[in-house]
Amino acid sequence: MQRYRSQIIVVLGLFLAILIAVFAFIGGVKVEVEVTIVPSEAGEVEGEGRYGSGKEVTIKAIANPGYIFYEWRKRGERFATEPEHSFQIWERKRLEAQFMTVEEVIEDLIAVSAEPSHGGTVSAEPYEAHPSKITLSANPEENFEFTGWIIDGEVIKTNMVYVADIHKEKEIIASFEEKEE
């Protein structure tokens, strides 16, 4: 019996490995998608839960009023910037959905200013149609008129409302000039 013990162990090991592989192949092994929302009051996430190994998973971040979706993170590293992201799952995933307030976007990501500074102001709010964009509005002072949005030294748009992508634009200037009398 001693002589066959190692052979029995090898056969049982192979059987167990085959059983696990078959289980994984037919979706019997469930893996979890866990999402932490940062900050916790900033929004919601769809797509958390348990899935069969190898399945396609779609996660979606939904910003609460006053917040903008910024990025998806895994182990502290950015892996996606769109609010909806799909991937194939093979192992447990612990993810973070990062949100920011409009004020944080203006302070940390996009330099928004008015030229001249006494010519008007710029207001910002989340763009409702896309959670990673903000709506900028130019507000001329009395005796001034809005002449356009300047990005990278060029006037790109002349209407008073501009939708900015928080991952692309880095400096946006609202240009004003004094009205001629």
In a domain, 23, yes or no: no
In a domain, 85, yes or no: yes
In a domain, 153, yes or no: yes
Same domain flag for 86 and 116: no
More confident residue, 12 or 82: 82
In a domain, 149, yes or no: yes
Please check the confidence at residue 98 and state whether its pLDDT lies above 70: yes
Final residue of a domain: which of 100, 121, 140?
Answer: 100
Largest CA distance in the chain: 109
Q: What distance in Å separates the CA atoms of residue 53 and residue 157, rounded to the nearest whole number?
A: 48
Q: Domain total for the chain?
A: 2
Q: What is the pLDDT of residue 156?
A: 86
Same domain flag for 131 and 91: no
Nearest to 42 by CA among 94, 92, 103, 93: 103
Share of the chain above pLDDT 70, in %: 85
In a domain, 2, yes or no: no
Same domain flag for 117 and 81: no
Q: What distance in Å separates the CA atoms of residue 61 and residue 47, rounded to the nearest whole number?
A: 9
Final residue of a domain: which of 100, 120, 142?
Answer: 100
Q: Which residue has the tokens 């190692």?
A: 6
In a domain, 11, yes or no: no
Same domain flag for 114 and 96: no
Predicted confidence (pLDDT) per residue in 117-141, tens digit: 999 999 999 988 887 889 999 999 9
In a domain, 25, yes or no: no
| Domain encompassing residue 161 | 110-178
